[in-house]
Amino acid sequence: MRLALLLAVPLMGGLALLLVPGRARRPVHLLASALTLAAALAVAAGVVQAGVLAAADGMLRADALSAWMVVLVAVVAGLAALEATRAAPPEAARWFLPLFHLFVFTMLGAVTTDDVGLMWVAIEGTTLASVFLVNAERSRESLEAAYKYVLICSVGIALAFVGTVMLYFADLSVLGAGEHALRWTMLVDLAGAMPARLVQVAFVFLLVGYGTKAGLAPMHTWLPDAHSEAPAPVSALMSGVLLAVGLYGVLRFKVVVDVAAGPQFASRLLGAVGLASVAVAALFLWRPANFKRMLAYSSIEHLGLVCLGVAFGGPWGTAGAMLHVANHGLAKAALFILAGRIRAAYGTADIAAVRGLRGAMPVTARGFLTAMLALMGLPPFGLFVSEVMIFRAGFEGGHAVVAVLAIGFLVLAFGGLLRALHAMLDGEPPAAVREISAWTAAVPVTIALGLLVLTGIAWPPGLAAALERIASAVGP
Amino acid sequence: MTGALGAGILQLAVVAAGAPLLRGLTRTLKARLVGRRGPGPLQPYRDLGKLLGKEAVVSSTTSWIFRVTPYVLAATMLVAALVVPVVVARPPLGFAGNAILLMALFVLGTFFLALAGLDAGSAFGGMGSSREVAVAALAEPTVILAIFALAMRAGTIDLGGVVERLGDEPALALSPGHLMAFAAFFIVMLAETGRLPVDNPATHLELTMIHEAMVLEYSGRYLALVEWASAMKLFLFLSLLANLFLPWGVPSATTPAALGLGAVVLAGKLLVLAAALALIETTVAKLRLFRVPELLAGSFVLALLSVTTVFLLR
Amino acid sequence: MMAVCNLLAFLGLLAALLVVWRQSRPGRLQLFVAQSALLAALAAAIALYSGHRELLVVAAAFAVVKVIVVPRVLRRVVVGAPVRPVAPGRSAGLKLLGAGVLVLVSYVVMLPVTAATSLPTAGAIPLAFAASLLGLFVCVSGRDAFTHILGFLVFENGIFGLALLGAYGLPILVEAGVFLDVLVIVLIMEGVVVQIRREHASIDVDRLRELRG
């Protein structure tokens, strides 16, 4: 019931936004976002009480991992929704908000279905719903970004489909025939009897496929373009949670392959991909030229870190990875919102052209500085804690070399980000740039940073238990 | 022994007499497909008869090669007719009858024809020869590979053995590797016998022709022999295709009844292949010359795949 | 049964090979239509032989989407695109060799799959997978938007064939979702490509060079 409601709210919201006249859009949009958040919290509460929620003959299912993702999607979507009322591009006003809710709907669907076939459909749906959002500004650049995005992600996700089909073969070879052969719970139950080689091959396809969606190197090429050309609220959603949804797909199948072929296999692959992502991103971040692209590459870096956390495994690794997903989502939401405002004020996203932010837009500059420091992993923000958890898992699990390399790349990225930050904040402010005066503008950023401080120094009661349950759901 | 001898004579007769008919049939079908009445299927016989009655004009600049070539061509094809399983699975020269001998015979004919094309010293002859050699060099390895792919599945390089093995187990003929070999062989058949889309047998448009350019200088009985030999080449290739890839109803015994049945079955298969050939020739345009090697590379890849799948699926 | 499946799957692979080789856009589109029709026939054949009647519905839906609707959309992409003459230097020989290697790769990758499947259609699984790899190859090596879309569709066709041969198709709900996705992707691609053509007067992706770094 709660699950059905969770999916119905954004879908209905999107439809309603398509129908209502222009002036009513804003309240309907905010209402739909608030209801989505409420439904998400209700699902989380249900999972905390009952352990697992299921609906529609088990087709919809939410365990601790799903609930964590649902809340994350809904919170980041809420923050982005607040910004969407101010930053929706006038060229696409009619379609922007309905597609925004449809996008949220597909992401929520992907993390709450038990059928891996439908999960594939939903994750593919996230691409389809967001193509026009990426291209909302209708410029040459955004068009190119949208083309690359839809092409690369569709091809990638089709590879994941190959993997899904192979797992279906593996499942049928054990089960004979069955209606529920593509259910994830069924796959996990039967994984022990599946042919290990087949599951391994399938997992490689799934990792490449969903890894493309998660922006992992070397399948990341669409990501900087799409994230930098999309309007701010869309960038926030894509970077904050869409990547995490892609990774969620990989995680689900990691459980299956761990049972069928032992934990080493997935762990090694994820470790390699994760380290590659961190490396690629760090090398770019050393000299960024465009601050939205800089944030996009930083997403690759952080998703790589999450991969490493999952690869290191153990109680610290998995829990740290999941916490890091949430922390990164919040930080990126705040940063992309602020970056969108800076871009609107200066008329460009070139770092070289943005000077004297501190003088021109003092409040925005303060927010940007704080969020950037949080993103770099400085205390007292949550990313510090989750990164420490991930690296602790690495050192304890005997992956010291990988961990040290990753820390090296992190330091490199840190230096690059700091230099870019310095270039933007200081200098002579241009006369034409004005600070945004409305107090509501500060709301989403303040909420995100506040939550980051919570996960950094004052874990709310229940967070540790939730992370433990997720870690046990994702495996060893 | 007499049975074998009889079978050999029958096979020789079928190839020698049937080849012009097959060619005529293809032409008639082609004409009908594009809506013309066209000549009857017996027209090639009339052409050959007319050519035999005419005086042969030979350029004074040519050497003996020019005059020997038509005989060599006809002779190699007639010997090949005793090697290829046409109406019986085990023809008289079957003991030596493996794929390599067959290819050697075909290449010998091609070699002499190319020399003869150069011999007269005309520009077109040389052009035709160089093209023919280029196409043959790309096509021959594919023929060998495609036949080897079948031989490896059948466990023998003997053509008769391959046909018998496939006759025992017809399902094998539709296995993926076999189908790949079939496609590869079909493409090189088109190239080797000078059909569309590699060469157009119906035109003397000088810029595109290959086979016709080489035989441009021939006339009278020499031309008749060359035409007859090329008709036999088509007949032999189509018979190979028919018996190696559609391996039903090829008799191993040499009793008259079995031979008669074999001839009828062969006629049916050849009719189907001739119709397919006519259909392809009416729907496909001739390729530009620089794309021909790509087509042949494609067929080579198919043949190679066919061979490797034998190892992969072992 | 086995023979029919082998034949249809092989013809599908041959169509994919020809897509790699051919250069004319309408010609390749026709090959795609032919391949889709072959796969629909394959689905129907499997439905009749194995008694899975619901596969007939899948075959019909597949035929409608891939043989009628999608080609119609793609034709709109082709019609407005300026034709680029092919220079003799651009040889497809190497591409064909690469395609051959891919077919081999598909045989190797599919070894554990064919080993795990006991269906009579298992022998043709590598063919379908090879066709999908060739589609991916066309898509990745293509330099214009039409080739990208076509390659992607051939890829998708191959996966459909794979699911058919390995498991007699996926659960019907998933299959329906996949059809819908493909349809929407093609429509979205068409929209984007039309816009690209308006902006750049070409569908060559070499012109998309604004975003770097």
- The string of pLDDT tens digits covering residues C35-67 is 999 999 999 999 988 888 888 999 999 999 999
Choose among A156, B184, B244: nearest CA to C103. Answer: B184
Question: Which pLDDT belongs to residue B231?
Answer: 93
Phi/psi at A350 (5° precision)? -75, 130
- As a whole number of angstroms, the distance between CA C100 and CA C92 comes to 12
Q: How many CB pairs under 8 A join B and C?
A: 57
Contact C210 A147 (CB under 8 A): no
Question: Which pLDDT belongs to residue B8?
Answer: 81
Name the amino acid, one letter, at A457.
I
Name the amino acid, one letter, at C116.
A
Structure tokens at A302: 């952080």
By Cβ distance, the residue of B171, B294, B312 closest to C92 is: B294
Choose among B29, B45, B15, B40: nearest CA to B238. Answer: B15
Q: How far is B311 from chain C (nearest CA, A)?
A: 11
Tell me the domain boundaries of chain C.
Answer: 2-80+93-205
**Neighboring chain B residues of C123 at a CB cutoff of 8 Å:** 175-176
Contact A177, A137 (CB under 8 A): no
- As a whole number of angstroms, the distance between CA C157 and CA A430 comes to 56
Tell me the domain boundaries of chain A.
Answer: 262-476
Question: Which pLDDT belongs to residue A314?
Answer: 81
pLDDT in tens, C156-168: 999 999 999 888 8
Paired residues of A61 in beta bridges: A54
Contact C155 A155 (CB under 8 A): yes
Question: Which pLDDT belongs to residue B74?
Answer: 93
Phi/psi at B91 (5° precision)? -70, 165
Contact B186, B241 (CB under 8 A): yes
> Is residue B116 packed enough to be buried (19+ CB in 10 Å), middle (13-18) or exposed (0-12)?
buried
Instruction: Write out the residue range of the structural domain in which residue B219 sits.
Output: 2-312
Contact C167 A162 (CB under 8 A): no
Task: Look up the ipTM and state it.
Answer: 0.92
> Is residue A423 packed enough to be buried (19+ CB in 10 Å), middle (13-18) or exposed (0-12)?
middle
Count of other CB atoms within 10 angstroms of residue A79 = 28
By Cβ distance, the residue of C10, C21, C124 closest to B298 is: C21
Taking residues B90-103, report their average pLDDT: 73
- As a whole number of angstroms, the distance between CA A138 and CA A96 comes to 12
Structure tokens at A406: 């990753």
**Neighboring chain A residues of C116 at a CB cutoff of 8 Å:** 169-170, 173, 195, 198
Choose among B235, B247, B129: nearest CA to B189. Answer: B235
- As a whole number of angstroms, the distance between CA C92 and CA A295 comes to 41
Which is higher by pLDDT, A91 or B50? B50
How many domains does chain B contain in total?
1
- As a whole number of angstroms, the distance between CA A318 and CA A311 comes to 8
- As a whole number of angstroms, the distance between CA A471 and CA B178 comes to 52
Question: Which pLDDT belongs to residue A217?
Answer: 84
- As a whole number of angstroms, the distance between CA A97 and CA A30 comes to 10
Contact C174 A182 (CB under 8 A): yes
Mean pLDDT value across chain B:
85
Phi/psi at C202 (5° precision)? -170, 160
Beta pairing, strands A53-55 & A60-62: antiparallel
Q: Which residue of C has its CA nearest to B291?
A: C91
H or E stretch at C74: helix C70-80
Which chains contact A through at least 3 pairs of Cβ atoms less than 8 Å apart? C
Structure tokens at A200: 């391994």
Q: Please provide the DSSP assignment of A31-90 as one string.
A: HHHHHHHHHHHHHHHHHHHHS-EEETTTTEEE-HHHHHHHHHHHHHHHHHHHHHHHH--G
**Neighboring chain C residues of B171 at a CB cutoff of 8 Å:** 2-3
Phi/psi at C194 (5° precision)? -60, -40
Contact C154, C16 (CB under 8 A): yes
State the residue for tokens 């004979």: A176
Q: What is the pTM of this model?
A: 0.90
Contact C116 A124 (CB under 8 A): no
- As a whole number of angstroms, the distance between CA A215 and CA B209 comes to 55
Using DSSP's 3-state secondary structure scheme, residue B97 falls into coil
Contact A277, A269 (CB under 8 A): no
Numbered residues of chain C with Cβ closer than 8 Å to any chain A Cβ: 109, 112-113, 115-118, 129, 132, 136, 139-140, 145, 148, 152, 155-156, 159, 162-163, 166-167, 170-171, 173-174, 177-178, 180-181, 184-185, 188-189, 192-193, 195-196, 199, 205, 208, 210-211, 213
Eight-state DSSP code of residue A428: P
Angle of helix A93-112 versus helix A116-134 axis, rounded to 10: 160
Q: Digits of tens for pLDDT over chain C (213 positions)?
A: 778 888 899 999 999 999 988 888 888 999 999 999 999 999 999 998 888 888 899 999 999 999 999 999 888 887 766 666 655 556 677 888 888 889 889 888 888 888 887 788 888 888 999 999 999 999 988 888 889 999 999 999 999 999 998 888 888 888 888 899 889 989 988 888 888 888 877 777 777 766 665
Contact A197 C173 (CB under 8 A): no
Name the amino acid, one letter, at B138.
L
Contact B75, B112 (CB under 8 A): no
pLDDT in tens, B135-192: 888 888 898 888 888 888 888 777 877 888 877 777 777 788 888 888 998 999 988 8
Structure tokens at C134: 């060739």
Question: Which pLDDT belongs to residue C211?
Answer: 66
State the residue for tokens 């466990």: B155
Q: How far is A161 from chain C (nearest CA, A)?
A: 8
Largest distance between two CA atoms of chain B: 60
Contact B179 C124 (CB under 8 A): no
State the residue for tokens 């032409």: B27
Per-residue 3-state assignment (H helix, E strand, C coil) for chain A: CHHHHHHHHHHHHHHHHHHCCHHHHHHHHHHHHHHHHHHHHHHHHHHHHHCCEEECCCCEEECHHHHHHHHHHHHHHHHHHHHHHHHCCHHHHHHHHHHHHHHHHHHHHHHHECEHHHHHHHHHHHHHHHHHHHCCCCCHHHHHHHHHHHHHHHHHHHHHHHHHHHHHHHHHHHHCCCCCCCEHHHHHHHHHHCCHHHHHHHHHHHHHHHHHHCCCCCCCCHHHHHHHHCCHHHHHHHHHHHHHHHHHHHHHHHHHHHHHHCHHHHHHHHHHHHHHHHHHHHHHHCCCCEHHHHHHHHHHHHHHHHHHHHHHCHHHHHHHHHHHHHHHHHHHHHHHHHHHHHHHHHCCCEHHHCCCHHHHCHHHHHHHHHHHHHHCCCCCCHHHHHHHHHHHHHHHCCCHHHHHHHHHHHHHHHHHHHHHHHHHHCCCCCCCCCCCCCHHHHHHHHHHHHHHHHHHHCCCCCHHHHHHHHHHHHCC
Phi/psi at A115 (5° precision)? -85, 115
Which is higher by pLDDT, B200 or A358? A358
Q: Digits of tens for pLDDT over chain A (476 positions)?
A: 789 999 999 999 999 998 888 788 888 999 999 999 999 999 999 999 888 888 888 889 999 999 999 999 999 999 999 988 887 777 677 888 999 999 999 999 999 999 999 999 999 999 999 998 998 888 888 888 999 999 999 999 999 999 999 999 888 888 776 678 888 988 888 888 888 889 999 999 999 999 999 999 889 889 999 998 899 999 999 999 999 999 999 999 999 999 998 888 999 999 999 999 999 999 999 888 889 999 999 999 999 999 999 999 888 899 999 999 999 999 999 999 999 999 988 888 888 888 888 888 888 999 999 999 999 998 889 999 999 999 999 999 889 999 999 999 999 999 999 999 999 998 888 877 777 777 788 889 999 999 999 998 888 888 888 888 888 887 65
- As a whole number of angstroms, the distance between CA A290 and CA A353 comes to 9
Question: Which pLDDT belongs to residue B208?
Answer: 73
Question: Which pLDDT belongs to residue B238?
Answer: 92
